[in-house]
Amino acid sequence: MGAGRTRQKEKVAATGNAIHIRWMIRRDMPDVMRAERASFEYAWTEDDFLRCLRQRNCIGMVVELSDRIGGFMIYELHRTRLHLMNFAIHPSVRRTGLGSLMVGKLVYKMTSHRRLKITLAVRERNLAAQMFFRAHGFKATRTLSNYYEDSGEDAYHMELKAPPYDPFDGFGVIGPVNRIAQYEET
């Protein structure tokens, strides 16, 4: 997995553009809607986005590539999990590592906020999304029959479980660890 991350960083670095993942704001909506419409046959409307983002437990984030929105994610915070509701990278910047950076940000949010897993639903016909999330460690756990109201299509419920906490790795989520002290002579 380390070599894969290196390749992703190389892809992103090769673009030579500044990349920033930040909270979604109202003025991002035109770019978010362009990415949404270009990515999905049954796209969310702007009202769908706004209705979702008005909820207390719903978070929107965008990946900005040289002052241009390259993609977004919408997720819900639950007590023990994060649920990814919508995720898209504009087709013009796919396969550049932006999606992997967004997933990495989501995994960081999961572990830093002590959530146990990330869940999501993927359309049965969306093989590209299934493969993308599978490459990032997500596993399909069950089929959700007639999940999508717009088409009656089934979905796969996928999840990524948080790695077990190792208090000796120096990067745990419980609290800071003095890694330098591990190497001091006594």
Token pair recorded at residue 10: 């190389």
Per-residue pLDDT of 127-175, as tens digits, reads: 999 999 999 999 999 999 999 988 899 999 999 998 876 655 555 444 4
Domain boundaries, the chain: 2-183
3-state secondary structure of 70: strand
By residue count, the chain amounts to 186
Q: Element (H or E) spanning 20, and its range?
A: strand 19-23
Contact between 97 and 11 (Cβ < 8 Å): yes
Q: Is the pLDDT of residue 124 over 90?
A: yes
**Strand ranges inside 24-154, DSSP E:** 58-65, 68-77, 81-89, 117-123, 139-144
CA distances from 105 to 40, 109, 182 (A): 23, 6, 28
d(Cα 176, Cα 167) in Å, to the nearest integer?
10
The tens digit of pLDDT for each residue in 31-86 reads 999 999 999 999 999 999 999 999 999 999 999 988 889 999 999 999 999 999 99
Extended strands (E) in the chain? 19-23, 58-65, 68-77, 81-89, 117-123, 139-144, 155-161
**CA 10 to CA 43: how far, in whole Å?**
31
Instruction: At 18, list the tokens.
Output: 């500044």
2-183: CATH topology is Aminopeptidase (3.40.630)
| pLDDT reported for residue 150 | 86
